[in-house]
A = this chain, B = another copy of it.
Amino acid sequence: MRLSRYFLPVLKETPSEAEIVSHRLMLRAGMIRQSSAGIYSWLPLGHAVLKKIEQIVREEQDRAGAVELLMPTIQPAELWRESGRYDDYGKEMLRIQDRKEREMLYGPTNEEMITEIFRASCRSYKDLPKLLYHIQWKFRDEVRPRFGIMRGREFLMKDAYSFDIDEAAARRSYNRMFVAYLNTFSRLGLKALPMRADTGPIGGDLSHEFIILAETGESQVFCDRAAVEMAPPGDVDFEGDLEPIVAERTALYAATDEMHDPAAFEALPEDRRMSARGIEVGHIFYFGTKYSAPMKATVQTPDGESVAAHMGSYGVGVSRLVGAIIEASHDESGIIWPEPVTPFGVGLVNLKPGDAEVDPVCEDLYAKLTAAGCEPLYDDTDERPGGKFARMDLIGLPWQLIVGPRGLKDGVVELKNRATGERETLSPESALARLSAG
How many copies the complex holds: the figure is: 2
Of the candidates B48, B130, B153, which one forms a contact with A7 in the assembled complex, judged by CB atoms under 8 Å apart?
B130
A40 to B72, Cβ gap below 8 A? yes
Q: With an 8 A cutoff between CB atoms, is A224 at the interface?
A: no
Stretch at the interface among A61-69, A183-191, A299-307: A61-69
Q: With an 8 A cutoff between CB atoms, is A81 at the interface?
A: no
B94 to A69, Cβ gap below 8 A? no
A74 to B6, Cβ gap below 8 A? no
B73 to A137, Cβ gap below 8 A? yes
Q: State which residues 26-49 of A face B: CB under 8 Å.
A: 30, 33, 35-37, 39-44, 46-48
B141 to A98, Cβ gap below 8 A? yes
B102 to A41, Cβ gap below 8 A? no
Instruction: For the complex formed, measure the closest distance between the CB of A80 and the CB atoms of chain B, giving whole angstroms.
Output: 12
Chain B residues with Cβ below 8 Å from A121 are: 7, 9, 30
Of the candidates B47, B67, B143, which one forms a contact with A68 in the assembled complex, judged by CB atoms under 8 Å apart?
B47
Q: State which residues 74-98 of A face B: CB under 8 Å.
A: 74-76, 79, 91-92, 94, 96, 98
B5 to A65, Cβ gap below 8 A? yes
- With the chains together, A40 CA to B76 CA distance in Å? 11
A67 to B44, Cβ gap below 8 A? yes
CB-based closest 5 A-B pairs: A9-B121, A42-B70, A36-B76, A91-B99, A41-B71
Of the candidates B42, B65, B79, B153, which one forms a contact with A69 in the assembled complex, judged by CB atoms under 8 Å apart?
B42
Question: What would 5 more interface pairs be, CB under 8 Å, given A36-B76, A92-B99?
Answer: A39-B72, A44-B132, A73-B137, A96-B106, A98-B153
A33 to B120, Cβ gap below 8 A? yes
Instruction: For the complex formed, measure the closest distance between the CB of A121 and the CB atoms of chain B, giving whole angstroms.
Output: 3
B35 to A75, Cβ gap below 8 A? yes
- With the chains together, A104 CA to B137 CA distance in Å? 17
Q: With an 8 A cutoff between CB atoms, is A56 at the interface?
A: no
- With the chains together, A92 CA to B98 CA distance in Å? 9
CB-based nearest B residue for A70: B42
B75 to A73, Cβ gap below 8 A? no
Known contacts A47-B69, A94-B96: A74-B41 contact under CB 8 Å? no
Known contacts A69-B7, A99-B141: A39-B74 contact under CB 8 Å? yes
Chain B residues with Cβ below 8 Å from A117 are: 33, 41, 43
Known contacts A7-B67, A39-B74, A74-B39: A98-B94 contact under CB 8 Å? yes
Q: With an 8 A cutoff between CB atoms, is A139 at the interface?
A: yes
Q: With an 8 A cutoff between CB atoms, is A113 at the interface?
A: yes
